[in-house]
Amino acid sequence: MTAANANIFRFYATFYRIASDCTTVTLDDDYLKLPSKFNVDEYEIMERFCLSIPNEKISNVLSDMIRGSGAFRRFKDLIYRYDIEKDWYKFRDEAYKEIAVSWLESNDFAYTDDMNRRAQNS
C-alpha cells in the first residue's frame, strides 16, 4: 500500500467512525457519493500543519522542505527528526474529521462525534 493510499484509507476510517451512527436508505438509485481522494488535499493539510508549529524555526524549515518533488517523504522524515510526529498525526486526524463532518452536515446527516471520547478512553 502506498503512503497516499494509506492516508486515504485513514481518512475513510475516520469518516466511517464519525458517520457510523448515520442511517441511510439505499433501496433505489438515490444515494450520495462519499468524498473521494480528490476531496482530500493532503498537501494543504500538511502545509497548514507546518504553519501551525509554534517554533518558528521548525515551522520555516518544514514549510521550505515541502516544496517540489519528494515533499511528502521529506516532511515525514522531518516530523520524526523534530519529534513532532504525534502532533502531526493528531492534526491530520482532526483535518480528516473536519472534512467528514463538513460533508455530513452539508448533506443533512446527523452524526455522533465519539472520537474525543475514544481518545480519552485509550
| pLDDT tens digits in sequence order for the chain, 122 residues long | 455 555 555 666 666 655 544 444 444 456 667 776 677 888 999 999 999 999 999 999 999 999 999 999 999 999 999 999 999 999 998 898 888 888 888 888 777 776 555 555 55
Length of the chain: 122
Q: Which domain holds residue 52?
A: 3-121
How far is the first Cα of the chain from the last one, in angstroms, to the nearest whole number? Answer: 27
Dihedral over Cα of 89, 73, 70, 67: its sign = positive
How many domains are there within the chain? 1
Cell of 78: 522531518
Phi/psi for 39 (5° steps) reads -90, -5
User: What distance in Å separates the CA atoms of residue 95 and residue 114, rounded to the nearest whole number?
Assistant: 16
Quote the pTM value.
0.69
Please give the grid coordinates belonging to residue 23.
Answer: 442511517
